[in-house]
Structure 1
Amino acid sequence: MKDEPLVSVVIATYNMGQYLPDAVESVLNQHWKNLEVIVVDDGSEDNTPDCISRFKDDPRFRFVRTKNQGQPKAKNLGLGESSGEFVAFCDADDLWHPEKLRLQMPLFEDPGVGIVYSEVSYIDECGVEVSKSRPYTRYSGWVTNELAIKNFIPFGTAVFRRACVEQDGAFDETLPMGIDWDLWLRYSLKWQFQYIPEETYIYRLWSGQMSRNYRGRYDNAVQILGKFLESNPDVVPPTFVSRAWADMYVSRAMAIANAEKTFIEPLKDIIEGLRRDVSYWPAWRSLIKLILRRV
């Protein structure tokens, strides 16, 4: 891009003092210089203020402290404190690649593009690189149909226009989880998404992260998909709606089966998935896997 428009990066944190400084530093070390970093401390009880005190003299850095209200409100508070034409997020235990914004921002030269996202790499809790397969196909363009089936966008990789927030709102504060999928579904109705294959975001895998709460994740996913389809009844074609619900039930079934080594509950979910879309081959594959484990 000829000029560097301001990018606001929000880092919402809760008791992440051990990882937060590295996250902040990775954003401030961007080759893209016109940015601001807003750390929202959601009522941490650890040494978070001391851990990031070294950044207080950097004019691009701001620290906002609030009582504990949960991540949707913390992220929205950060959005309200930001002033950039573009917005991005970094989780407090993750990292940005220094080339992230330089690689992603040029795609916004197309005024119809609202969100640019990328591929992700992984590290463990000690910062050691972890090899992990890429389970999802990524899509560009008008992605509502595909996005209804699967949230294929790694949240921290995404950069989006402030105009998206102004037109279609911020995070739904009634949702404790899955807030990014809800956001992307709403934005996909008016904006195109663009994907780049470079790994610009480094996701940390460790035992304390919320993403391990698979039951809570799927409870919220069912709510999010149902609300979106009810609010936009004619947007997603019936075949995609059936496929979306089939994938929901089958994915939940295998998450429970893998974590809890159970049979009956996952079986019921897979059968419900097949009832929604009998041609959905991953459901048949999952059914075979489940039965073979039982034998």
Structure 2
Amino acid sequence: MNNSLIKTVDRTISFSVIIPNKHRLTLLRRAVKSVLKQSYNKFEIIIIDDSSEDEFSSIVNEMGQHEKIKIVRGSGEGAAKARLMGYMKASFPYIAFLDSDDYWGKDKLLYHANAYSLYPEIVACFDLLLLIKDGKQQKVVYPPINYVRGETVLVSMAHVHKELLKDNFIHASAGSFKKYVLGDDFSPKSPNDYLTWLRLSARGSFGVIGCIMTTRTDQPDSLTWNKKILFEESVNIFKEKFLLINTHNILNKYTRMKFLFFSIFILVTFYFAIPPKVKKIILGKSKANKSSFLRIL
């Protein structure tokens, strides 16, 4: 525990930690354990589970009695919708996401609480992320904005927003934010984490914690590995970025054109990658789920 931080942090800051899960009981145990071991204990855990009935029952029996844990049956629509369900049920004013295959360092929430104490004006903050693939350390994901190793710094709204419009560099499990800033505008059509950071960056400055507090482990059975869901989210991200670019007039004409052509390339790539059945839905050749898909457009 960092005693110097624990003495200065605002103890009224409390977090709702939202963990989407599907068929990952072993990994979920690790994720939950990393939260329960936090040196800063002002939090609740909300697990949104899309597993089978048997595994859901196991999770309830194993974790449901803990006073800090809420377990909710998911809708089966992927991690983004699971986060939305958790967001709606959150009791505390600060939101933090944690994917069930990721885990935190023991001082993660302490550093985030300290960031909000140091800079009350920030709307969100994030820490550095360590990527592990196939059991081997791959790299540390560094943001394309100014940060100081081992310290927490403030980054202006204009700077972080401009960089996020280019690409997402904040993993869901690495960030946290003030719930009231978004309110009911938590990406209601597609609550993707990238859209969340984009909208937050249009409303205030961010805190950047120059410490590795989050470990990400890539899993092939990701809740967002569904190609139809990925395509839907790509469409929504494209629309949101295009709207923000034109509304705020942040990027020059050349950069806008680069963004437009790159986004079209990504959408076309996803389109040709998705299964024929989903293509039929997109093209209107199948009535199945057509109305639900068109709602995102």
TM more than 0.5: yes
**One of 35, 53, 57 as aligned partner of 2:65:** 57
User: In the TM superposition, what are the counterparts of 1:157-236 in structure 2 within 5 Å?
Assistant: 157-166=174-183, 169-172=185-188, 174-175=189-190, 179-209=192-222, 217=230, 220-230=233-243, 233-236=246-249
Matched with 2:137 is 130
Report SS of the residue matched to 1:195.
Answer: strand
**One of 213, 235, 242 as aligned partner of 2:257:** 242
CA contact (8 A) 2:122 2:205 kept: yes
Matched with 2:82 is 74
Q: Is the alpha carbon distance of 1:6 and 1:246 closer, same or farther for their aligned partners in structure 2, counting shifts above 3 Å?
A: same
- Shift, 1:230, TM fit: 2.7
Letter in 1 for 2:196: L
Distance 2:256 2:35 in 1: 38
Deviation larger for 214-223 or 234-243:
214-223
Letter in 2 for 1:39: I
Letter in 1 for 2:216: Y
Distance 2:71 2:233 in 1: 30
Distance 1:6 1:134 in 2: 26
Letter in 2 for 1:32: Y
Report SS of the residue matched to 1:233.
Answer: helix
Q: Which has the higher contact order (CA 8 A, sep 6+)?
A: 2
CA deviations over 1:11-64 (Å, ceiling 9, x no partner):
111222231111111111111111100111135355243146333332111111
Report SS of the residue matched to 2:40.
Answer: coil
**One of 159, 167, 173 as aligned partner of 1:156:** 173
CA deviations over 1:140-192 (Å, ceiling 9, x no partner):
321221111111111111011111231x61133x43xx811111111111121
Output the aligned Cα RMSD: 3.0
CA contact (8 A) 1:113 1:194 kept: yes
CA deviations over 1:174-214 (Å, ceiling 9, x no partner):
43xx8111111111111211211211111112322256678
Q: Runs of 5+ in structure 1 lacking a partner?
A: 260-295
Letter in 2 for 1:170: F
Identity fraction in percent: 22
Deviation larger for 71-80 or 217-226:
217-226
Matched with 1:11 is 19
- Shift, 1:241, TM fit: 2.6
Distance 1:45 1:132 in 2: 37
- Shift, 1:219, TM fit: 6.7
Give the aligned length: 249
Distance 2:39 2:12 in 1: 11
- Shift, 1:67, TM fit: 4.0
Deviation larger for 207-216 or 6-15:
207-216
Letter in 1 for 2:141: R
Distance 2:229 2:81 in 1: 18
Deviation larger for 39-48 or 157-166:
39-48
Letter in 2 for 1:209: S
